[in-house]
Amino acid sequence: METTTGPLGQGVAVSVGMAIAGRWMASHFNRPDFEMFNYDVYALCGDGDLMEGVSHEAASLAGHLKLSHLCWIYDNNKITIEGHTELAFSDDVATRFLGYGWNVTRVGDANDLDMLERAFKTFKNTPDRPTLIIVDSHIAYGAPHKQDTSAAHGEPLGEEEIRLAKRHYGWPEEAKLLVPEGVREHFQMMLGQRGRTLRDLWMARFHDNKARYPELADQLYKMQHRQLPEGWEKDLPTFAPDPRGIASRDSSGRVLNAIAQHVPWLMGGSADLTPSTKTRLTLEGVGDFSAEQEGGRNLHFGIREHAMGSILNGMSHCKIRPYGSTFLIFSDYCRPAIRLSALMELPVIYIFTHDSIGVGEDGPTHQPVEQLASLRAIPGLITLRPADANEVVEAWRLIMQLRYEPVALVLTRQPLPTLDRSKYAPASGVARGAYVLADADDGQPDVLLLATGSEAWLCIEAYEQLRAEGIKARVVSMPSWELFERQSQDYRDSIIPPRVTARVSVEQASTLGWTRYVGWTGESIGMKTFGASAPLKALQTKFGFTPERIVAAAKAQVAKVR
Ligand SMILES: Cc1ncc(C[n+]2csc(CCOP(=O)(O)OP(=O)(O)O)c2C)c(N)n1
Ligand SMILES: [Mg+2]
């Protein structure tokens, strides 16, 4: 499998995810008589990749995990866009990688095929460490005026320079798009015939495997096709109404385990925050992934959010169903990878907890404000911010069935009341992105209260107060804007009726974007500044996340319309 990337550093980090996936799949699917997985992973990289921080994170983890089937080939041409790497890069790359626990080997001349072959053999024969092959090379090799210059990176060589380079190679100078004899045949032999034979052999082995280990082969087929095992959702819990409730990070942890029990290739971890994000698989026999324990499903990414995202992408390429978690505030540290999950249509699950000023005393450095809006701005990413434990269940039910879309599941640290679904609408509405949670008795509301996540029950409280005062409100739970936008106009109009212009949105995050739903005349209660450090209750009062404040806004909206 091949993947390319434009953002420097992503490719090498993705390769670590592929290598981790390879190890786990070998451990899970191989049997003494059936070696289904034994692949190596190669990444070609340049100066830019090795400068990018994500390569440092990824290489450090790869060394720690002793991923000996991973090989990075470094095109050490000492040129980047601005000029010689001397401008900004004086790392001793070999020492750096030795420090990570890699095997480092050097090829002094990119044209020395014998040395290259020797380096690859060294890689193949190194059983306990990843390998870095530092290949000294010349950009625009053979072009007499452009070789070893940054101009060769960014500009065409030009007619004359191309002619001179061809002369240097002993190539026919006038020929264009020339594919010399033997080259096509070579590719046909190697990529075509050799590849085909290997694939046929593998498929034959797969069919034999099916006869011998039908269950395992069925898993492998389903995983490869991004399908789910029969009965994967049979242990999904239902949460009883409970005014004290449960934090959505906790309910999510329970749901995750209920699903993971039936989906062996669902695995992941966090950037050193699992005790807080509640993403540990606690199932019997499920251990930690490590150099010694390659069948483990709990991954420890260390405090490396960026590499975590890229590694998840690599794992997903190999059809593992990976998740990674951290605090919502640190989603910014994963952002380049999240965007690529979406662009590459990979169903990676990002779990972001501690989703608001509700983190309390940790204060503004840890309180996300603009993160939700910025995640919603990524095309193809589905954000989900469930309102209570049963919405969490429905969110996961939906997430697991996605095959091409990544998700950001946004969860609270603080408990959320579990809503009484006999009184309010069932949580299955989550699948449509937004649904009416509580309505005016006659279904003709005078004011709409729109909320996501932890603010839904605040709106329910406000709704009950308004109701007592004879004001007809409707509460719309909107866990996912993206899913809602995909519904028919009829459905959307039935949830947010165009005729009702008295509207209030409530979300403990930047209000950016809410105008789309409340209109120019509506009101958005949200964060317009950074947060502050204080106990949760004090913060909610200070920033206006109280039923009283919502009631006042609703009344003002109704008065304005009249
Ligand atoms: C994250 C990121 N930052 C900046 C760029 C823009 N960019 C493209 S190529 C390049 C220089 C790459 O140099 P190197 O990796 O040494 O490649 P070479 O020119 O040697 O082929 C830069 C800065 C990018 N693609 N990705
Ligand atoms: Mg370079």
Q: How high does pLDDT run on average in the chain?
A: 97
Rounded to the nearest angstrom, the distance between the alpha carbon of 423 and the centre of ligand 2 is 64
Per-residue model confidence (pLDDT) at position 361: 86
**pTM for this prediction:** 0.97
Q: Where are the beta strands (DSSP E) in 328-401?
A: 349-353, 382-384
Q: Where are the beta strands (DSSP E) in 78-125?
A: 79-80, 83-84, 103-107
Phi-psi category of 203—alpha, beta or left, where left has phi over 0 and alpha has psi -120 to 50?
A: alpha
Q: Is 81 in the pocket of ligand 1 (CB under 6 A)?
A: yes
As a whole number of angstroms, the distance between CA 498 and CA 11 comes to: 47
Q: Is 10 in the pocket of ligand 1 (CB under 6 A)?
A: no
Q: Is 138 in the pocket of ligand 1 (CB under 6 A)?
A: no
Assess whether pLDDT exceeds 80 at residue 5. no
Rounded to the nearest angstrom, the distance between the alpha carbon of 9 and the centre of ligand 1 is 9
- Counting atoms of ligand 1 from 1, which one is nearest the CA of 152? 19
Question: Which pair of tokens denotes residue 324?
Answer: 């990674």
**pLDDT confidence tier of residue 186, bands split at 50, 70 and 90:** very high
Neighbours of ion ligand 2 (CB under 5 A): 46-47, 77, 79
- Counting atoms of ligand 1 from 1, which one is nearest the CA of 45? 15
As a whole number of angstroms, the distance between CA 416 and CA 418 comes to: 6
Per-residue model confidence (pLDDT) at position 3: 86
As a whole number of angstroms, the distance between CA 445 and CA 502 comes to: 9
Ligand number, closest to the Cα atom of 48? 1
Q: Is 83 in the pocket of ligand 1 (CB under 6 A)?
A: no
As a whole number of angstroms, the distance between CA 458 and CA 460 comes to: 5
Q: Is 325 in the pocket of ligand 1 (CB under 6 A)?
A: no
Assess whether pLDDT exceeds 90 at residue 358. no
Question: Distance from CA of residue 13 to its chain's centroid?
Answer: 13
Catalytic, 86? Answer: no
* 249-307 per-position pLDDT tens digit: 999 999 999 999 999 999 999 999 999 999 999 999 999 999 999 999 999 999 999 99
Q: What is the mean pLDDT of residues 115-138?
A: 98
- Counting atoms of ligand 1 from 1, which one is nearest the CA of 50? 15
Q: Is 151 in the pocket of ligand 1 (CB under 6 A)?
A: no
Q: Is 48 in the pocket of ligand 1 (CB under 6 A)?
A: yes
Rounded to the nearest angstrom, the distance between the alpha carbon of 149 and the centre of ligand 2 is 10
Per-residue model confidence (pLDDT) at position 287: 96
- Counting atoms of ligand 1 from 1, which one is nearest the CA of 81? 11
Question: Which pair of tokens denotes residue 485?
Answer: 């936008």
Rounded to the nearest angstrom, the distance between the alpha carbon of 245 and the centre of ligand 1 is 50
Rounded to the nearest angstrom, the distance between the alpha carbon of 401 and the centre of ligand 1 is 37
In 3D, which of 449, 471, 468 has the Cα closest to residue 458?
A: 449
Per-residue model confidence (pLDDT) at position 452: 98
Q: Which of 52, 57, 161, 305 is catalytic?
A: 305
- Counting atoms of ligand 1 from 1, which one is nearest the CA of 9? 1
Per-residue model confidence (pLDDT) at position 21: 98
Is 62:100 a contact under the CB 8 Å cutoff?
yes
Specify the length of the chain in residues. Answer: 562
- Ligand 1 probe mutation, 12, 78, 81, most atoms within 8 A of CB: 81
Ligand number, closest to the Cα atom of 76? 2
pLDDT above 70 covers a percentage of the chain that reads 100
Ligand number, closest to the Cα atom of 140? 1
Rounded to the nearest angstrom, the distance between the alpha carbon of 154 and the centre of ligand 1 is 10
Q: Is 445 in the pocket of ligand 1 (CB under 6 A)?
A: no
Per-residue model confidence (pLDDT) at position 266: 98
Q: Is 391 in the pocket of ligand 1 (CB under 6 A)?
A: no
Q: Is 140 in the pocket of ligand 1 (CB under 6 A)?
A: no
Q: What is the mean pLDDT of residues 330-348?
A: 97
* 202-247 per-position pLDDT tens digit: 999 999 999 999 999 999 999 999 999 999 999 999 999 999 999 9
- Counting atoms of ligand 1 from 1, which one is nearest the CA of 139? 20
Q: Is 314 in the pocket of ligand 1 (CB under 6 A)?
A: no
Bridge-partner residues for 252, per DSSP?
none
Per-residue model confidence (pLDDT) at position 1: 77
Question: Terminus-to-terminus CA distance in the chain, angstroms?
Answer: 63
As a whole number of angstroms, the distance between CA 376 and CA 381 comes to: 7
Assess whether pLDDT exceeds 80 at residue 4. no
* 460-484 per-position pLDDT tens digit: 999 999 999 999 999 999 999 999 9
Rounded to the nearest angstrom, the distance between the alpha carbon of 47 and the centre of ligand 1 is 8
Rounded to the nearest angstrom, the distance between the alpha carbon of 337 and the centre of ligand 2 is 23
Give the position of tokens 């030795």: 98
Cβ density class 41-62: b for 16+ within 10 Å, e for less: bbbbbbbbbbbbebbbbbbbbb
- Nearest CA, atom 19, ligand 1: 80
Of 41-45, 106-110, 191-195, 376-380, the one with minimum mean pLDDT is 191-195
